[in-house]
A and B are shown apart, each in its own frame.
Chain A
Amino acid sequence: MFPAPFDYYRAHSVDDAVQALARFGDDARILAGGQSLIPAMRFRLARPSVLVDINAIDELAYVRESDGHLAVGAGTRDFALETAPLIAQRYLLLADTSALVADPVVRQMGTVVGSLCHNDPAGDWPVTALAARAQVSIRTPGGATRTVAIDDFVVDSYTTAVGTGEMAVEVRFPTPGTRTSGSYQKIERKVGDFAAEKLLAGAKPSKDLIRAAMREAEKIADPSPDNRGSVEYKKAMAGVLVGRAIAGALERLGVGGLK
């Protein structure tokens, strides 16, 4: 299938993009990596009238650490997190996640912020951003920037706090403390599947605590049934994966033997 016809605007700066969004109104969508949007357009599930392409905005592609957080620009592709030494050393949760998004070819083009804005419930980045208590910076039509905690950013499946004429420009992940760790686990029935479940670890490790966390995860998990499994299976796997994620995170802190 081919996408339905649309108009195209190549933005050269964030201001340019935001002005274009203002000009085209409701039916305009930002095109970043396009790895989720373009398939949706090809199935004609998404039919934006205008695409504002931000791929030419070079200054949006960055990964910077400052003031207790890691800032990732809206032009930053998944592979950049997968390959940055800084990430591999200090942001283990992000490193795990970036290496599990879709497949390695898709990761060359797909962006972290784009994935957050798409907010597929099965996507990897929204899950990790929630776990890491990330914040998202949004440029408003007036040119101001507002920052939203991830809990407020994620409104519902495929819905975020980014309003009409606005554009998400950056996501910030808090820098983990030395006694904090993370681990991202995913049931992959096959590479390219979207994430099934997740969770992040806390402190005071014990087998009982892990078991309690697993039971809790099973209880609170609210998955949708699909080809990767029924609700029942996914809830059970939420528990198993939480157990493994906590044990994995603890192992990274040097606390072993809890698997």
Chain B
Amino acid sequence: MASHEFRTDRVEVAFTVNGKPVGLAVDPRATLLDTLRDELGLTGTKKGCDHGQCGACTVHVNGRRVNSCLSFAATHEGAAIDTIEGLGTPDNLHPMQRAFVELDGYQCGYCTPGQIMSAVALLAEPCGESDAEVAECMSGNVCRCGAYQNIVAAIQSVRKENAT
């Protein structure tokens, strides 16, 4: 181990998750992903590669989509974190969730929380209008079931809805 005098077994961090304040003492090497899943029991956010190469772990940090496996929980002091569990309710789904159902935007369901969180964040980004531009904007989220065409269609349908 390092020769320095400083030793942090735990780091205090406070943020909100789905609007609720959370205070934790985390292992410095705990990723936001593992913290959400293991410490907070929010297992909707998935681990597909653990190296920022698949997007299954996409959550929102202050409204922006982030690979939660590629950032340490300790980094997010004061941040507003949103996960799939905070999106919509069974009776009142988020329009993106409704569109994924309507247009069949998934198969095995494993990448789905990440796809939906990524898609929701995209709505607030300056993504171009065409299907190809939406596909580019969604290119951080891998779907091995290959539901891309329907995922893009779902996003476009929500954007159309929002535009009217």
The answer to whether A and B touch in the complex, with CB atoms under 8 Å apart, is yes
Across the interface, which residues of B come within 8 angstroms of A24, CB to CB? 2, 4, 6
Which of A103-111, A147-155, A165-173, A176-184 sits within the interface?
A: A103-111
Say whether B138 faces chain A, with CB atoms less than 8 Å apart: yes
Chain B facing A: main interface SS = loop
Across the interface, which residues of B come within 8 angstroms of A50, CB to CB? 2, 4, 6
Chain B interfacial residues counted at CB < 8 A = 41
Say whether A31 faces chain B, with CB atoms less than 8 Å apart: yes
Contact A23 B75 (CB under 8 A): no
Q: Nearest Cβ in chain B — how far from A59, in angstroms?
A: 15
Cβ 8 A contact of B70, one of A1, A49, A104, A109:
A109
Across the interface, which residues of B come within 8 angstroms of A53, CB to CB? 72, 74-75
Q: Nearest Cβ in chain A — how far from B71, in angstroms?
A: 6
Across the interface, which residues of B come within 8 angstroms of A192, CB to CB? 53, 139-140
Which residue of chain B has its CB nearest to the CB of A7? B8
Interface string of B65-87 (1 = CB under 8 A from A): 11100111011111000000000
Interface string of A8-30 (1 = CB under 8 A from B): 11100000000000011101000
Across the interface, which residues of A come within 8 angstroms of B126, CB to CB? 83
Known A-B contacts A25-B4, A51-B28; the reply to A83 vs B55 at CB < 8 A is no
Say whether A212 faces chain B, with CB atoms less than 8 Å apart: no
Expressed in whole angstroms, the Cα–Cα distance for A7 and B7 within the complex equals 6
Expressed in whole angstroms, the Cα–Cα distance for A105 and B2 within the complex equals 33
Say whether A34 faces chain B, with CB atoms less than 8 Å apart: yes
Give the one of B3, B66, B75 with max A CB within 10 A. Answer: B75
Contact A8 B51 (CB under 8 A): no
Which residues 83-114 of A have a CB within 8 angstroms of B? 83, 102-106, 108-109
Contact B6 A34 (CB under 8 A): no
Expressed in whole angstroms, the Cα–Cα distance for A105 and B7 within the complex equals 32
Across the interface, which residues of A come within 8 angstroms of B94, CB to CB? none
Contact B71 A9 (CB under 8 A): no
Say whether A189 faces chain B, with CB atoms less than 8 Å apart: no
A55-B76, A56-B75, A108-B121 known; 6 new pairs, CB 8 Å cut-off, are A1-B50, A6-B28, A49-B2, A49-B4, A83-B125, A105-B65
